[in-house]
Amino acid sequence: MQFPDSGQSGLWHGTTILSVRKGGVVSVGGDGQVSIGQTIVKANARKVRRLGAGEVIGGFAGATADAFTLFERLEAKLEQYRGQLMRAAVELAKDWRTDRYLRRLEAMMIVADKDVSLVLTGTGDVLEPEAGIAGIGSGGNFALAAARALIDGPLDAEAIVRRALDIAADICVYTNRNVTIETLKA
């Protein structure tokens, strides 16, 4: 599941986030490149991290400060709803869509726990990918296509994420090979 640029100020440039679920394992990975226009300003950003006492993995595309705000809000929702990712994500999406401050945040998120993977957007979407594969960001389509091609082969979820992000880096100028991958087992 990939979502196109919303048309807002090129905000998805510099990010590729991919989630793959296979064999009772979910892996979420992202590249480390941050770009402003055509300039790389950072090559080792950490766009994927553990949330909710380490039981949830999140990755973001978009404005960094906005993503950190959303991660903090999701952490609070996970605490409020005792680690129930789906419930926390739905409540965050409601707030994101209706709160005047949050509505201005320019970011997308992929979040996953041992049971579910979700894509969250500022338009109130909480979407679960059908095949357990989701990609966001400027290189998201490339990584998504590569992961779909690799999913039926011998590689595990983490290896698929690593290879798909490498393929995306070959194609997308806003994606580099400095990746962070987090994995959870069911």
Write the pLDDT tens digit of every residue in 70-102.
899 999 999 999 999 999 999 998 888 777 766
Residue 10 has pLDDT above 70, yes or no: no
Tell me whether residue 110 is exposed, middle or buried, using C-beta atoms within 10 angstroms of its C-beta: 0 to 12, 13 to 18, 19 or more.
Answer: buried
- Strands of the sheet containing 56-62, edge to edge, are 48-51, 56-62, 107-112, 117-120, 126-127
Of residues 174 and 1, more confidence is placed in 174
| Chain centroid offset of residue 22 CA | 17
DSSP 8-state secondary structure symbol assigned to residue 124: S
What amino acid positions are annotated as catalytic residues?
A: 15
**Which has more confidence, 22 or 9?**
22
Average pLDDT, the chain: 89
Look at the pTM and tell me if it is higher than 0.75: yes
Question: Half-sphere exposure (CA, 13 Å, Cβ side) for 92?
Answer: 33
Of 122 and 179, the structure prediction assigns the larger pLDDT to 179
Fold for domain 16-178?
Answer: Glutamine Phosphoribosylpyrophosphate, subunit 1, domain 1 (3.60.20)
Residues 24-39 pLDDT 10s:
999 999 999 988 888 8
Q: Is the confidence at residue 2, as pLDDT, over 70?
A: no
Residue in 57, 157, 148, 151 with CA at minimum distance from that of residue 109: 57
- Whether the per-residue pLDDT at 182 is higher than 70: the answer is yes
pLDDT by residue (tens digit) across 95-154? 887 777 666 777 889 999 999 999 998 778 899 998 999 999 999 999 999 999 999 999
